Amino acid sequence: MNSKKILASIITIGDELLIGQTIDTNSAWIARELNEIGIWVHRRLAVGDLWNDIWKALDEEGNQSSIVLITGGLGPTADDITKPLLCEYFQGKMVVDQGALENVKNIFENILKKPMIERNLKQAEVPDVCQVIPNKRGTAPGMLFEKETAQTTGSKTFFISMPGVPHEMKGMMSNYVLPMLRSSFHLKPVIHKTMITAGLGESFLAERIKNFEASLPNTIKLAYLPNYGMVKLRLTASDNNPATAEILNDRFDELYKLLKDIVVTDEDKTLQEVVGNILKQSGKTVCTAESCTGGFLAHQLTSIPGSSAYFNGSVVSYSNAAKENLLQVPADCIEQHGAVSESTVRFMVQGALAALKSDYAVATSGIMGPGGGSEEKPVGTVWIAVGNQWKTEARKFHFRFDRQRNIELTAVNALNMLRMFLQEQHP
């Protein structure tokens, strides 16, 4: 096919998405994967389990995009209507696919060790007008349909239906759908350059680089992506011209120089990845002593593959007794200053270093809410400390959100304090 911009639409199906019972992570993941190979997502649409609404979405998105990706509604229950609807939409009839049948039998007989019922066997039925996409991670096969639409006169629009279970969908996308799309379209990857900043809010950041932004050519777009006290800045080339790519790199270098004092990383990486890389390169280890974050900081650090090379462990010392018994925080320190205090988190750091035999430690203690605050220490008051055996730094924060966001903000700021402390030790 030609090299024009290839558009895709993503339709996620299920009442649970519309009422907020299930969070749609599928479309975000799919969009990132498509963008990576040079396909532009035109629209993302969530639709309930209603026949007419799904049918209308197929019509509208098929007339806008060359690729329509659909997730959800392929299960064995009565509310899963995607497969019969697609059969009627593409004017086919239901048949048993032998490969899908063998897959279902194998899962029940050899993996689950359970008998099959008629409802399970129906998972192997597909419209005879589709190309079956094997599901190596579940029982519902995917389906590929082709149809000429207003968008693809003289060629075809791909309609690709996949399960709503993220693990199953990702397997299909990685093993079949993405390779098929690469071979079917003339694609050039979209060029992004990303940096992450901390310490300056979005509006102040925009003011600081307003002249830079105004000078950007039409082929390069700057996006601000704020999240939890940090701002991600992304430059994107909107065409595939090699000259534009070179300009993009030059402008990114210029932006980095303007913001060097607040740049966390000049790559699209998480804070925990940045911290992990510093620790791996220096051959050092870290541990956490957590009160208000309840292990969330340790979870963030261990979410990175290979983190066992530098993460020794965590002490979740939620109660005062745990702080005293596990981290050797003096009782008179807590009595005099309170659990949420500079003195306490400093002792927590030193206690964790000794207990977990690490080079560095991070400690958190705070009041996450909604209750527990006082006039002196309102909800959202947090103390964070980071240090090694020779030096400890502590800082007080005031967050103003709900409990979950306060926990997440505490973890982000703790990781950033750790990053800055590590960079001072290992410039």
Q: Are strands 263-265 and 191-198 parallel, antiparallel or unpaired?
A: antiparallel
**What's the average model confidence in pLDDT over 33-56?**
94
Answer yes or no: are the C-beta atoms of 315 and 291 closer than 8 Å: no
**Res 86 pLDDT > 90:** yes
pLDDT digits (tens, 9 = 90+) for 261-270: 999 999 999 9
Residue 151: per-residue pLDDT? 63
The domains located in the chain, with CATH, are 7-184 (3.40.980.10), 191-265 (3.30.70.2860), 271-425 (3.90.950.20)
User: 302 Cβ partners below 8 Å, 6+ apart?
Assistant: 308, 311
Question: Token pair 């991670």 is at which residue?
Answer: 137
Rounded distance, CA 51 to CA 343, Å?
62
Q: State CA 201 to chain mean position distance.
A: 22
**Res 241 pLDDT > 80:** no
Rounded distance, CA 79 to CA 100, Å?
21
Helix (H), strand (E) at residue 101: helix 98-106
Q: Looking at 161-241, list the stretches that DSSP marks H as alpha helix, in order from N- to C-terminal side.
A: 166-172, 178-184, 202-208, 210-214
The average confidence (pLDDT) of the chain is: 93
Helix (H), strand (E) at residue 304: none
Rounded distance, CA 296 to CA 317, Å?
13
Prediction pTM value:
0.79
pLDDT digits (tens, 9 = 90+) for 202-211: 999 999 999 9
User: 321 Cβ partners below 8 Å, 6+ apart?
Assistant: none
Phi, psi of 376 (to 5 degrees): -75, -40
**Res 191 pLDDT > 90:** no
**What's the average model confidence in pLDDT over 193-202?**
92
Q: State CA 173 to chain mean position distance.
A: 17
**Res 1 pLDDT > 60:** no
Residue 36: per-residue pLDDT? 87
**Res 306 pLDDT > 50:** yes
pLDDT digits (tens, 9 = 90+) for 318-360: 999 999 999 999 999 999 999 999 999 999 999 999 999 999 9
Rg (CA), the chain: 26
Answer yes or no: are the C-beta atoms of 381 and 373 closer than 8 Å: yes
**Res 156 pLDDT > 90:** no
Q: State CA 330 to chain mean position distance.
A: 40
Model confidence band, residue 150 (pLDDT cutoffs 50, 70, 90): low
pLDDT digits (tens, 9 = 90+) for 254-263: 999 999 999 9
Please choose, from the candidates 328, 331, 334, 333, the residue with its C-alpha nearest in 3D space to the C-alpha of residue 355: 328
The secondary structure of the chain in percent helix, strand, coil, rounded to multiples of 5, reads: 45, 25, 35
Question: Sign of the CA dihedral 13, 15, 20, 21?
Answer: negative
Residue 153: per-residue pLDDT? 58
**Res 142 pLDDT > 60:** yes
Question: Token pair 């003195």 is at which residue?
Answer: 343
Residue 374: per-residue pLDDT? 92
**What's the average model confidence in pLDDT over 89-97?**
96
**What's the average model confidence in pLDDT over 52-56?**
97
Question: 156-169 in b/e burial notation, b at 16+ Cβ within 10 A?
Answer: ebbbbbbbbbeebb
**What's the average model confidence in pLDDT over 396-401?**
94
Angle at 240 between CA 270 and CA 157, to 5 degrees: 90
Model confidence band, residue 2 (pLDDT cutoffs 50, 70, 90): very low
